[in-house]
Amino acid sequence: MIPASADHSVATKRGLAIGFPLFLLALVALAVTLFDPLARFGTGLPPDEGLAIERGTTEPNGIEVWVRGDGRDDVSIAQVQVDGAYWNFKQTPDGPLGRFEGALIEIPYPWVAGDAHHLTFVTSTGTTFGYSIDVARDTTPFSLGALFDLALLGLFVGVVPIALGLATIPILRRMGTEGMVFAMALTVGLLAFLLVDTLAEGLELAAEAAGAYQTDVIVWVVAALTFAALMALSRIGGRKGGTGGIALATWMALGIGLHNFGEGLSIGTALILGNAALGSLLIVGFTVHNLTEGIAIAAPVTRKTPGLWMFVGWTALAGLPAVAGAWIGAFAFLPHWGAIFFGIAAGAILQVMVEVIRFILALGRESTDSLSGGTAFAGFGTGVLAMYATAFLVQV
Amino acid sequence: MTTVGNVDHVRNGFDPHEILNDWDLGTVTTDANGRRVREYEITAVDIEIEIAPGIFFPAWAYNGRVPGPTIRAVEGEWLRIHFTNAGSHTHSIHFHGIHAASMDGIAGAGLVGPGESFTYEMPAEPFGCHLYHCHATPLKRHVHKGLYGAFIVDPDPARHPEHTDVARARLLGTPENDTWQEFVMVMNGFDTNFDDENEIYAANTVAHEYMKRPIQVDRDRPIRIYLVNITEFDPINSFHLHGNFFDYYDHGTTLTPTLRTVDTIMQCQAQRGILEMSFANHEPGRYMFHAHQSEFAELGWMSVFEVT
């Protein structure tokens, strides 16, 4: 039997063990508050003004620009220069912009179609923030007709090539295990290129977004979270060997769909900002580019016989987001949302890559051919090169 | 198009319209030798000024205004300028005129540390339209921050028997001079974002001020403009008048025009001159004048005369 006093002393020791670090922490907090070591560094700092210029469009009555406060301190837009001349402007809502506060600047400037226009926002302290409209053209106004046109473009870019890619399944079926390894490795190659491309797009948009959002970090975080979430979701069934066949094709369609949403954003934004030449190039490029994505979805199901409706579903899942992307890109696009979206797409693509690699490893186990490694490498290389080659068509 | 809004001149402590002709005549005494002595008080201060609606510039200024006081004297007088530096940096006054080496306003000759004083002494010579500015280094910074002003020396008619009438018309306070409408315009610029280029150009500091509030002129009285260029970062500035031509006196050091019947003149930095024009035969209305560098005009150096 343990004496009561001993029991008590153990409890006291435990209490001390927990209490002491807390006591020390409180002491440190008190010391920091009292001595304020940061005070010396905070004095005499000039105002930290920031202004993110998120979107500029040329409208019938002039130029419209969406801006956002992006610094530690408020920023007041005192004057606006267009092409090196002070110009009338109206800010809605007016007044200083706090961090993250947005405003619309309307400038009744007689812009010239086909020309570039340079804007300079001069703040109350004389700090300047620049923005360029590369090619001025009538911004397509929001209308049902415009929505319809954009939807057609989205279908052409997203749905058609995916369907065409899926139609390659009879060819894929004639291949043996080695052929499958090659096809799947090719898919990994395509996805690897897509992953890098998606992250790059996301980070590029992050650079345009308000710095205070730290969108560049968010792109990575969102990608990682999406990847982890999708991995967890795909394991709900408890399969140890990972996904394969129809499930893998579906995950792949989802990942590619998210990516295509991003492509839709690019096309919609380019078109709405009057850059028709860029828009049409993007359309042709993405269409060719996306053919390979259809092949990627088809690869895991070459040995299955999914119903026709499954193919329809995958086509819709992978292709239709391009339509939604085009709409949003055209009429409601802000760079930080775009960046976050590309982050999600990157996470989804990475998840699909992991699944496909597991699938290849499983195929490799059933293959007796020692050349599988070489085949896989050849497939991967071909995939990356194919994407790189078609990406030439979408150079901005 | 112009800047949007209006500048608070009361807050600034000076109004470009007042700068046009608020001559600083100093205080005049006669010394033992019977020579007229003119004394001025100038203090350099750090001051924030509004140079365009809503744009505040951390200026260094003589007597709290940019340009500094327009010093006006008469040829042959003795000048004594008591300078106090109440600013945060070393400053000086360097006069474009004729003076001794020890009065130059450069290192070793009247460079004044914060809290210190110095008296510059020199004859009022030669007659003409001149300027003064700080000559502390770094020179560009001290100049474009606002340490400059006009320095006018009126000719003494007694010394110019062949052009007595012209000299009397220039000499402030004579009946002949009274028939003229005289304005001083210091062409300047402001680099607000430290990229060694100006975001604001103006005559007498405030962008587009004479555009929004035209300078009222009487068509029956001729106009004389004392024009000084102290624009930093650009090699030249210019003055162009709409609907009229003028005579020009380079540096103002002659009593006959150095250029006749021109509508545009250009000045290198620190160059200055006198412009004379008349609207007597013109219909009333607004006559624009501006730098004929379109860039400068659209960034603030654009103005009008309202002729009535």
Name chain A contacts of B207, Cβ cutoff 8 Å: 86
Q: Do A128 and B300 touch (CB under 8 A)?
A: no
Name chain A contacts of B190, Cβ cutoff 8 Å: 126
Q: Between A and B, how many residue pairs show a Cβ–Cβ distance under 8 A? A: 61
Looking at CA atoms only, how far is residue A61 from chain B in angstroms? 15
Interface of A with B (CB under 8 A): 76, 78-81, 84-89, 120, 122-128
For the sheet with B236-241, list strands across it.
B215-217, B302-307, B285-290, B236-241, B264-268
pTM: 0.78
B295 and A CB contact within 8 Å: yes
Looking at CA atoms only, how far is residue B208 from chain A in angstroms? 10
Under a CB-based contact definition with an 8 Å cutoff, are residues A364 and A237 in contact?
no
B258 and A CB contact within 8 Å: no
pLDDT tens-digit profile, chain A (396 residues): 555 555 667 777 777 778 888 899 999 989 888 887 776 666 666 678 889 888 888 888 899 999 999 888 899 999 999 999 999 999 999 999 998 899 999 999 988 887 889 999 999 999 999 998 887 777 767 778 888 888 888 888 888 888 888 888 888 778 777 777 887 788 788 888 878 888 888 888 888 887 777 888 989 999 999 889 888 877 765 555 455 678 888 888 888 888 788 778 777 776 766 555 556 666 766 676 677 778 778 877 877 777 888 889 999 999 999 899 888 888 766 788 888 888 887 887 888 788 778 877 877 776 665 556 788 888 888 888 887 777 666 554
Portion 145-204 of B in contact with A at CB < 8 A: 190, 192-193, 195, 199
Query: Closest partner residue to A124 among B1, B56, B199, by Cβ?
Result: B56
Q: Do A124 and B54 touch (CB under 8 A)?
A: yes
Query: Closest partner residue to B199 among A76, A89, A122, by Cβ?
Result: A122
Q: Do A125 and B192 touch (CB under 8 A)?
A: yes
Name chain B contacts of A88, Cβ cutoff 8 Å: 1, 4
Name chain A contacts of B303, Cβ cutoff 8 Å: none
ipTM of the complex: 0.85
Q: Do A126 and B299 touch (CB under 8 A)?
A: no
Closest CA to A268 of A135, A392, A138, A154: A154
What is the crossing angle of helices A372-391 and A177-208, to 10°?
Answer: 40
Q: Do B192 and A76 touch (CB under 8 A)?
A: no
Closest CA to B143 of B96, B178, B108: B96
pLDDT tens-digit profile, chain B (308 residues): 889 999 999 999 999 999 999 999 999 999 999 999 999 999 999 999 999 999 999 999 999 999 999 999 999 999 999 999 999 999 999 999 999 999 999 999 999 999 999 999 999 999 999 999 999 999 999 999 999 999 999 999 999 999 999 999 999 999 999 999 999 999 999 999 989 999 999 999 999 999 999 999 999 999 999 999 999 999 999 999 999 999 999 999 999 999 999 999 999 999 999 999 999 999 999 999 999 999 999 999 999 999 99
Under a CB-based contact definition with an 8 Å cutoff, are residues A105 and A89 in contact?
yes
DSSP chain B: ---SS---HHHHT--HHHHTT-EE--EEEE-TTS-EEEEEEEEEEEEEEEEETTEEEEEEEETTBSS--EEEEETT-EEEEEEEE-SSS-B--EESSS--GGGSSBTTBS-B-TT-EEEEEEE--S-EEEEEE--PSSHHHHHHTT-EEEEEEE--GGG-GGGHHHHHHHSTTSHHHHTSEEEEEEEEEE-SSSSSS-SEEEESSSTTHHHHSPEEE-TTS-EEEEEEE--SSSSEEEEEESS--EEEEETT--SS-SEEEESEEEEETT-EEEEEE--TTS-SEEEEEE-SSHHHHHTT-EEEEEE-
Name chain B contacts of A89, Cβ cutoff 8 Å: 4
